[in-house]
Structure 1
């Protein structure tokens, strides 16, 4: 069983999963898409079926058919070769992007994908998520996705008594050019004074939702048919009431809990409907005990959960999903009790991997705003 990992350098999730695969006796190869064109060499030969696709970075090489499972961790922008002119890079970067898109489509058509490319492209869009969740029986907040100032004001007028929240399609981070400080735009509450000027409302489409009263929040980490659920007491402090991610100085601690069976069934049904083998579902639990769907992140982070809740066994679960291509509530996990995130950190594999990425791969530094789904 060989796993192909598609991602970009210095991602601790990639290095932890590679270590876990090795501990379980599996094999893996990693392709960093930002290595094209600096490091990565790739070819596609199309004549008669089957087509031949090859990738190599000087340290490892593979061709289509070598991999039984593909973990599509994340995309990455191509990195510009030193000395290439702006005009040349405008063309070359576009062609690199299309080359990688072709590679992903052809490199392992018969493999088990986490997650399927076509499904991933749909799930990256928030509106189809909400529609699918409602079809699976979830309650969802009234939602407007718009840049029409009149529609936004009308929506605010209808829901201002409960409150209206504003958020972007992707969680957005950026670094101040002068100060170097890191900033992030989290979910915020819309105020009437924010509606006075048409220009900012029209200039950037955004998601507006009726504010839902919270008792607490849940993140449901779904791996095939196994759901690991954590409770986040977001209402315990002012800084996290609207967005539990917003306190980056003292993040909320996750607590392992169980879902009501009917809600778990809805989560699994939603994963099936969206075509996902892995995803992190965010739910609000209201003071009345109702579970409200917010969104699903098709490639969400999960190591932070195991760091605070080792009983979650998420690293071992994920390695089992990749190697066995299925995971149910009673599936025997690969490896043994030593295959944990803490074991990975103690092994030195992260430090070795970090150094190797810096020495042997393109430095991944996308310009401007950094968007992290």
Structure 2
């Protein structure tokens, strides 16, 4: 694995590489088929315009998000692109057996050699009940909401470092002699001959993964788009904890940023309001499809909901392409991020595609 697989090169006038985080959002009146087709178009646009990566995120039981199976989506995107790096932002490791992830991403690496990233998260990517359904083990008894089943499901991320170590052993095919898994091989993988393997990233929205990524000398991706108050503390902790490794000789931190550009700043606000209303509903136990701009504009927010929306949108960079560039440049300077990964959540695919085009134009990216 080459550090160049991790460190990107800024194109155009961008201070740092720009990338795409895709949640494969499904808008009201649209289908998952349409959302996945839009993801292909975004990946092709991102490749054409010089974005560095296109990542997809694992979420479950959310009607407005169609990215429950990142490996499947990434295989599809690999078939429609040629150069852009593709990866998970991320796969939620506690939901899966490490061997399964090693096999899935070994397959992706075989399909798209040298352009696959394996980003790993510690959270379930869903609510407690769904996490329990995903993580069935003999130790858990069936039960209803509020049962020990759900309480235990919230704790299953505690062995994340051990799961990570096991996954890394499978990726490298280097369990020591005498280990129970020493004769087990993740395929495709090194047992089949010399080949690369996906770089591992740790993702987080607090300090746990920041510290772990630093100690292990791994690249770190922080979810600024939904945990902005923790961004600088987490990045400071990552950098302070960092120890050089075979992967990196210095810290490399990427942050996910909510950003949407439109030709008219009023239209940009109309679009980001749909994502804000969607988050209000999610946070209050009413997840659904992404509302239309008309529905979001007509919605009567309570005082508490309005406070939430104002806080949420204060961390979403929106406006014209030049306004978004100014906001992203300011954020990069404040955080010292080595890379910005933009997620443009809106009801329709056309608005998202236009946003990535306008941001690329503002930065003078090629194409």
Q: Would you call these one fold, judging by a TM-score over 0.5?
A: no
Larger radius of gyration: 1
Q: Give the strand-richer structure, 1 or 2.
A: 1
Q: TM-score, normalised by structure 1?
A: 0.33
The TM-score, its normalising length taken from structure 2, stands at 0.33
Q: When you count helix as a share of all residues, which structure comes out higher?
A: 2
